[in-house]
């Protein structure tokens, strides 16, 4: 299970960090302007936050944590795989947004899985998971130019990370299910409206404002 969690963590940043080292090649090939090129990294960040807040809880209730994370990995893998062939600017930016949505779902659901499976070692498991996320970002930035150079194609540098997502999906699906207590299985899900009524959420809204 820990190996699956770490591999899932590794998939959450290469779709973002693989872009910057190849940005010159991407712009030369597509004629993309600098403002549009910035969307390749800005849009995933926006969707990671917005989609997780608005749709993450609903998807968690509908699909469950196991299926929800699997769906997020599938979305990330498809977004990266599309970059093997996409040359149109609009479609390339769309893959960034789609990848951000997949990342958002996983980041919304994975902490709950870690707490269920590693109740006595939550802090340690979360530390490994966070380190895997950061490590995935470093791998994307470091190896994407090398992959593009080996294949003489910037598409390969962006699309190769679909293989990591596929491996993460396979390992995640074969990992053991976390043992859930009776309280976990019968607890009613909290809606977004109920969440915003919580005192802690109100304090956060006031601080943000």
In tens, the pLDDT along 125-154 reads: 999 999 999 999 999 999 999 999 999 999
Report the pLDDT averaged over residues 180-190. Answer: 42
* 72 in any annotated domain: yes
Confidence of residue 187 (pLDDT cuts 50, 70, 90): very low
Q: Percent of the chain having pLDDT more than 70?
A: 81
Domain of residue 53, CATH code: 1.20.1250.20
* 154 in any annotated domain: yes
Q: What is the pTM of this model?
A: 0.81
* 200 in any annotated domain: no
The rounded mean pLDDT for the chain is: 84
Q: Percent of the chain having pLDDT more than 90?
A: 56
* 194 in any annotated domain: no
* 207 in any annotated domain: no
Number of domain units in the chain: 1
Q: Where are the alpha helices (DSSP H) in the chain?
A: 2-10, 14-17, 23-30, 34-54, 56-82, 89-117, 122-151, 154-159, 162-174, 182-186, 192-197, 199-208
Query: Quick one: pLDDT at residue 130?
Result: 95
CA Rg value for the chain: 18
* 54 in any annotated domain: yes
- 173 by DSSP, 3-state: which? helix
* 84 in any annotated domain: yes
Least confident of 2-6, 135-139, 204-208: 204-208
Report the pLDDT averaged over residues 61-73. Answer: 86
In whole angstroms, what is the distance from residue 207 CA to residue 203 CA? Answer: 6
Q: Given a cut of 70, is residue 197 above it in pLDDT?
A: no
- Give, in order, the Cα–Cα distances in Å from 152 to each of 22, 29, 149: 12, 13, 5
Confidence of residue 177 (pLDDT cuts 50, 70, 90): low
* 20 in any annotated domain: yes
Q: Which residue has the higher pLDDT, 55 or 191?
A: 55
In tens, the pLDDT along 70-112 reads: 999 999 999 999 999 998 899 999 999 999 999 999 998 898 8
Report the pLDDT averaged over residues 164-193. Answer: 66
Which structural domain range is residue 130 located in?
A: 2-178
Confidence of residue 51 (pLDDT cuts 50, 70, 90): confident
């Amino acid at each position: 299970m820990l190996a699956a969690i770490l591999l899932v963590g590794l998939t959450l940043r290469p779709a973002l960090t693989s872009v910057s080292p190849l940005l010159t090649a991407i712009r030369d090939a597509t004629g993309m302007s600098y403002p549009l090129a910035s969307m390749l990294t800005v849009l995933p960040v926006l969707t990671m936050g917005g989609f997780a807040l608005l749709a993450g809880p609903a998807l968690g209730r509908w699909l469950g944590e196991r299926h929800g994370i699997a769906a997020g990995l599938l979305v990330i893998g498809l977004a990266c795989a599309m970059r093997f062939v996409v040359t149109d600017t609009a479609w390339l930016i769309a893959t960034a947004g789609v990848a951000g949505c997949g990342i958002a779902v996983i980041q919304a659901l994975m902490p709950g899985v870690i707490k269920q499976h590693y109740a006595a070692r939550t802090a340690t498991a979360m530390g490994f998971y966070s380190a895997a996320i950061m490590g995935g970002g470093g791998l994307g930035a470091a190896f994407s130019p090398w992959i593009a150079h080996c294949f003489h194609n910037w598409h390969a540098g962006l699309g190769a990370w679909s293989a990591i997502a596929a491996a993460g999906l396979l390992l995640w699906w074969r990992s053991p299910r976390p043992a859930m207590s009776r309280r976990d299985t019968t607890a009613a899900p909290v809606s977004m409206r109920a969440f915003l009524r919580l005192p802690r959420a109100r304090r956060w809204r006031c601080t943000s404002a």
